[in-house]
Chains A and B, each alone.
Chain A
Amino acid sequence: MRLIPLGDSAVTVELGEAIDPDVNALVVAYANRIIEQGWNGIVDVVPTYRSITVHYDPIQWDLTALTDRLLALPCPYPHEAGSQGALHDIPVLYGGDHGPDLEGVASFAGLEPSEVITLHASVCYRVYMLGFTPGFPYLGLLPEKLAMPRLPTPRPSVPPGSVGLANRQTGIYPIATPGGWRLIGRTPISLYRRTGLDPFLLKPGDQVRFRSIDETEFERLSCEMAHEHDRPQQRPR
């Protein structure tokens, strides 16, 4: 374990050296343990691939007091670290306008586009972390064969729901943003529901499986999602 202060209001606790499911399971369990303490003045706890960033109010805490408390926390038990998050089935319309890079990825990998789809959908991915935009999951590990670097120039706008890949990761863009990942398809499922009480579909440590769908199914699910959006979910004030 290595403690890395980030300025005067955060500290990163590093639990491993590499992107590894066991290290990440420990990260998620340890982050949950810190959150459970409910310490006043701890404003955010952010688990990432192999470390946790703890944001604190520097008026209430000094670094030594915080690191003493963090180091005194018992390590999560192996069974906690090993617990699986929720399993999500994410339907994807691969290729065409929704996946403009599918052909490119296929020729890079020396495969047919249909083989890329089968391979991408064959793996149960772990949500290693969320970042970049609200609800954006970093999923891994992508089969080695599909590991292609990012686009040399990011697209100025990627439509929400786009499924992309970059190196050994795959991810889903929850909102329209610029993006440099190679886009192979699109899901009608909303990953960030801005009016919802719990707007984030995926949580760190969850599992994701992709399923190939056709245009009709995509349209049907898109309509369903739109209806769900119309329903007021925000608690009246």
Chain B
Amino acid sequence: MKRKRAQIDVVKPGWLTTVQDLGRHGYQRYGMPVSGVMDRFAAIVGNRLVGNPDGAAVLECTLKGPELFFRDDARLAVTGADLSPTLDGSDIPLWECLNVRRGGRLRFGTRRVGFRCYLAIAGGFDVPAVLGSRSTHCPSQTGGLDGRPLRAGDLLFGGPFDGDAGRLVGRRLPDRLLPRYDRSMILRIVLDPRRELFQDTAISTLLYSVYTVAPQSDRMGYRLIGPPLPRAGAHYFISEGTVTGTLQVPADGQPILLMADRQTTGGYPPIAVVISVDLPSAAQLGPGDTVRFVSCSIVEAQTVLRTRYHLLDAALPPIMVNRRSL
């Protein structure tokens, strides 16, 4: 088996491109946000396509992708949003494993659908693991490439990979498993059981209204603009743990959808939580996009999640590794 590593120059960084994996777990009790990819499904598919374990580090590219120059041969897959990727000037397919030759140039163009695109390379992006993860948390300058987004002139290193595994090239995600991204999405939510935190009308308002993602939205959370959700007046809410997908409601009644870089604890009452299987859809929303919510049970949420990964495992089996070597 021929082990290779790739070196890649960042010619242009794109709008916001960071190294991410599946998140930094185990430190939320010290206030450390989980971070990691916003669209877990797209990142996992990208990794499996190129022959990586699910937790290998990928690049998350936002709205406008980077320009990358490959100093070495590499194997890659682009998944998630369609930001018009090209290799040496020719369009390349998404959700498919490709070879790139030494001297190849990967560029992105306009946003077609979705908001966040993932670039997986065989061997993963090799940055030091901090607290067990390669994810970048920019506000605390933790992980990834010096805790910051990519800059022009950066040199990226790929981890070692099997250069002979040419059989992977051309492998793609079956069409029936392809996610559909839209500028208006429906997200399923589990309602918070503490109905006493809100006025009676809040839940029907949430379920029968359209909310728009505000410009001041980021990896921490999306501010949603729409009919306000009235909180129960006198209730004083003591800060408690939050979860990704929480819809929390500040005093003005405009909900905030908490995403990958969310604070570990929050003092705003939660009205509902977006279910895990729909978080990848939420990750593909950008400012100006709209969202509607439908209610769902926890059992149903977990069943659809398991079904989705069961189907994915059948199509693209996970690569098993010793966790320690990730």
Q: B241 contacts which chain A residues (CB < 8 A)?
A: 6, 10, 12, 46, 48, 51-53, 55
CB neighbours of B246 from chain A (8 A): 6-7
Contacts of A52 in B (CB 8 A): 241
Measured between beta carbons, the chain A residues less than 8 angstroms from B97 are none
Q: At the interface, yes or no: A43 with Cβ under 8 Å from chain B?
A: yes
* A6-B197 Cα distance, complex, nearest whole Å: 14
From A7, A47, A200, contact of B298 by CB (8 A): A7
Q: How far is the CB of B277 from chain A (nearest CB, A)?
A: 8
Q: A58 contacts B301, CB within 8 Å? A: yes
Interface residues on A, range: 35 or more
Task: Among A4, A46, A133, A135, point to the contact of B194 (Cβ < 8 A).
Answer: A4
Given contacts A7-B245, A8-B298, contact A175 B34 (CB under 8 A): no
Does B28 have its Cβ within 8 Å of any Cβ on chain A?
Answer: yes
Q: Report whether A31 and B29 are in contact in the complex, using a CB–CB cutoff of 8 Å.
A: yes
Closest A residue to B190 by CB, please name it.
A7
A6 to B274, CA, bound (A): 10
User: C-beta contact mask, A38-54 vs B, less than 8 Å → 1, else 0?
Assistant: 00000111111111110
Is B103 on the interface with A (CB-CB < 8 A)?
no
Q: Say yes or no: A59 contacts B306, CB within 8 Å.
A: yes
Query: Could you say which residues of chain B place their CB within 8 Å of the CB of A10?
Result: 241, 243
Decide if B240 touches A48 in the complex (CB within 8 Å): yes
The complex places the Cα of A200 from the Cα of B189 at a distance, in Å, of 34
Q: Beta-carbon contacts of B21-32 to A below 8 Å, as 1s and 0s?
A: 000011111111
Closest CB in chain B relative to A22 CB, distance in Å: 15
B 131-145 to A, binary, CB cutoff 8 A, 1 in contact else 0: 100000101111000
Q: How far is the CB of B87 from chain A (nearest CB, A)?
A: 31
B190 touches A5 (CB 8 A): yes
CB-defined contacts of B141 to chain A, threshold 8 Å: 175, 194
Count of chain B residues near A, Cβ 8 A: 51
Instruction: Check: A37 CB closer than 8 A to any chain B CB.
Output: no
A177 at the interface (CB under 8 A from B): yes
Cβ B28 vs Cβ A7 within 8 A:
no
Q: Is the CB of B239 within 8 A of A203?
A: no
- Distance in angstroms between the alpha carbons of A4 and B137 in the assembled complex: 29
The answer to whether B302 has its CB under 8 Å from any CB of chain A is: yes
Chain A, residues 196-237, CB within 8 Å of chain B (1/0): the string is: 000110011000000000000000000000000000001001
Of the listed stretches A76-84, A91-99, A124-132, A181-189, name the one at the interface; the rest are far from the partner chain. Answer: A124-132
Q: Is the CB of A44 within 8 A of B25?
A: yes
* Contacting residue for A134 out of B33, B265, B301, B305, CB 8 A: B33
Does any Cβ of A come within 8 Å of B309's Cβ?
yes
Confirm or deny: B84 has a beta carbon within 8 angstroms of a beta carbon on chain A.
no
Contacting residues, chain A, for B272 (C-beta < 8 A): 7
Once the chains bind, are A46 and B28 in contact (CB under 8 Å)? yes
Contact of B301 among A7, A55, A133 (CB under 8 A): A7
A132 and B263 contact, CB distance less than 8 A: yes
Q: Are B240 and A5 in contact (CB under 8 A)?
A: no
- Given the complex of chains A and B, what is the CA–CA distance between A10 and B134 in angstroms? 23
Q: Given A8-B276, A133-B31, A203-B30, do A177 and B245 touch, yes or no (CB 8 Å)?
A: no
CB distance from B195 to the nearest CB of A (A): 12
Known contacts A44-B25, A133-B263: A8-B31 contact under CB 8 Å: no
Taking beta carbons and an 8 Å cutoff, which residues of B are in contact with A?
Answer: 25-34, 128-131, 137, 139-142, 147, 189-190, 192-194, 238-246, 263-266, 270, 272-276, 298-299, 301-302, 305-306, 309
- 14 pairs, A vs B, C-beta closer than 8 Å: A7-B245, A7-B276, A8-B276, A8-B301, A12-B241, A46-B241, A48-B241, A50-B240, A58-B305, A58-B306, A130-B30, A134-B30, A135-B32, A175-B141
